[in-house]
Amino acid sequence: MSTTPKHQYDESKIKTLSSVEHIRLRTGMYIGRTGDGGQYEDGIYILLKEVVDNAVDEFIMGHGKKVDIGVDYNAGVITIRDYGRGIPLGKLVECVSQINTGAKYNDDVFQFSVGLNGVGTKAVNALSTHFLVRAYRDGEFAEAAFESGKLKKEKRGKAPDERDGTLVQFTPDLEIFPKYRFHEEHILRRLRMYAYLNAGLTLNFNGTAVVSENGLLDLIHDEAQFEKLYQPFHYRSKTLELAFTHTNRFSEDYYSFVNGQFTNDGGTHLSAFKEGLVKAVNEFSKNKKFEGDDVREGLIGAVAIRLKDPIFESQTKNKLGNQEIRSDLVAEIRRVIEEMLHREPQEAAKLLTKIEETSTLRAELNSVKKLARERSKAVTIRVPQLKDCKHHLKKLHGTGLDTMIFITEGQSAAGSLVSCRDVGTQAIFTLKGKPLNVCDLKRDALYKNIEIYNLMCSLDIEQSVDNLRYQKVILATDADVDGLHIRNLMITLFVRYFDRVVKEGHLYILETPLFRVRTKKETIYCYSEAERDAAVTRLGKGHEITRFKGLGEISPKEFEDFIGDSMRLTPVDMGQDHGVPETIEFYMGRNTPERRQYIMDNLVISEDVLV
């Protein structure tokens, strides 16, 4: 008979939270994920965005052409000062602390604003240990200081030498963002997005001016750099701006904006841009009709719209949901692009040449795909190198976020992993020796190589990275020269053909110990020579040192600790370095005199080798 206690559900269980309590309890509703600052979408950057959004709204309405942003990396403090109209002094406290309070509901004050819900700055306030706001208007100022959303001090006075505007300073709360750290590249990227969308706005970041004169055209030039196959097409009006070009990449890269807000998940405006582009190209080419995939492969595109009443799918405003604008927007984009193609016949010819080449290659690739699938079915209905887990990632449902797959070399390492893994969430894919170097190969090589094809099938990324079956793809190779080479070959595969796996933060490197230092009473695993030396000092006499050369040397019982809760993972991060493809080509591409000379100039021979 069950002895499970029954929980009483009565009036005492009903809670009413204040706005501050709700924001702190349900942080994800307001800023998405918290994170530690290592990723572009981590919460600390959303806090920055919410404050800068207000400064940009002032610029959009014609007030203030400069915003100062200062970051103290050691203290974790951000200061933003705009030169707009300044928050009305008598409503300063309400505007930064009371939900649904603000001027964004008034079309006379703000027309095309980023802020909509009267929530943003209040969330920043509630999620900060210290939050200071100071408004300047007509030679006077008002100031309010908060701690974790609670008002601590107010002050008013004269400020005859200060220009109108608003200053906000905040420190993210360590209870919400433990071990956070601001990364300059993520802040700069976010500020550049504001600059691209607001020509004439200057954002001074720690003394460095971030400014754009040509809007989205500058964005495309910066993102494509030397890869662009023709000069980007660019159009700008009061409510619509777009720019695009092609590269020889195998991916599609888009940047979409609404009212100056970077919508990294796209939405109605981005799908309209894609459809309008395909229709315009097919109308321009007259006798040839291309598939959408052929038109878009290698495309780098950006689209920005101004919309009076945008509907976003969450407070973080990552995706636009206004379906009623789609048909008109598709028609406008189609017309605009077709006109640009007619005005620039030489560049348009280069665009068509690229699309025709892609179409021809895709037709050839389809036949190779068919052969690869038939060959795979003839061998087995399962991938022989995969030891799968019970649960899988389902992005749309938000489930399987704890799933992972280890890509490892050799049967011995795989055997140790299989014996100690969590069968519910941890899968294993075993490589047979060194994988193919795909740096200089065409996509059909992925289908002709059985091992890489099986890996694609295991991850389910053949058609789209959206289908990825695991949250984390973990490279688990030996800590020797061969292991590092295999790791680089796998990174080359993902960067070259499936860069979204890297950009979206799915690819990791498993850090395993290099040494085991132990006595009869204690064992310490060390991940570096420094850790080894510290362990030797700590354990003193009678210690034994083991150097692990391969994963297969680690027993399953020991390995269980290294892939459990204390697992050490290093993310593979491309960051905002646009030179990654060139770097991969230099190190992993065909041998060149330049690479040989680089090796000769930088070769270091260890003294241990000479002994």
**Residue pLDDT, tens place only, 290-349:** 999 899 999 999 999 988 888 877 656 678 888 899 999 999 999 999 999 999 999 999
Instruction: State residue 507's pLDDT score.
Output: 94
Determine contact, residues 312/257, Cβ cutoff 8 Å. no
In whole angstroms, what is the distance from residue 221 CA to residue 467 CA? 31
Predicted TM-score (pTM) of the model is: 0.71
Which residues partner with 190 through β-bridges? none
- In this predicted model, what pLDDT tens digit does every residue of 224-252 receive, in sequence order? 888 889 999 999 998 999 999 999 888 88
pLDDT at 475: 93
- Give the tens place of pLDDT for each residue, 510-545: 888 888 898 888 888 888 888 899 999 888 888 888
Q: Where are the domains of the chain?
A: 19-208, 216-360, 380-512+548-610
The CATH class of the 380-512+548-610 domain is alpha beta
Name the superfamily (CATH) of residues 19-208.
Histidine kinase-like ATPase, C-terminal domain (3.30.565.10)
Cβ contact 163:170 at 8 Å: no
Question: What pLDDT is attached to residue 555?
Answer: 76
Instruction: Give the pLDDT mean for 51-73.
Output: 91
- What pLDDT does 124 receive? 92
Mean pLDDT is lowest, of 56-60, 81-85, 437-441, 574-578, for 574-578
Instruction: Write phi, then psi, for 525 (nearest 5 degrees).
Output: -100, 135
Phi-psi region of 244 (alpha: psi -120 to 50; beta: other; left: phi over 0): beta
Domain 216-360: give its CATH code: 3.30.230.10
Report the distance separating Cα 448 and Cα 376, nearest Å.
11
pLDDT category, 86, cuts 50, 70, 90? very high
Tell me the three state secondary structure of residue 306.
Answer: coil
Give the E-state strand segments of 226-313 in sequence order: 233-236, 240-246, 253-258, 261-262, 299-305
**For 29-38, 158-167, 325-334, 575-584, which range has the lowest pLDDT when averaged over its residues?**
575-584
Closest to 502 in 3D by CA, of 575, 403, 453, 407: 575
pLDDT in tens, 152-189: 999 999 998 999 999 999 999 999 998 899 999 889 98
Buried (b) or exposed (e) across 197-206, using 16+ Cβ within 10 A? bbbebebbbe
Largest CA distance in the chain: 83
Residue 280 or 287, more confident: 280
Q: Which residue has the higher pLDDT, 392 or 380?
A: 392
**Tell me, what's the pLDDT at 375?**
61
DSSP state of 13: G
Higher pLDDT, 574 or 291: 291
Confidence of residue 117 (pLDDT cuts 50, 70, 90): very low
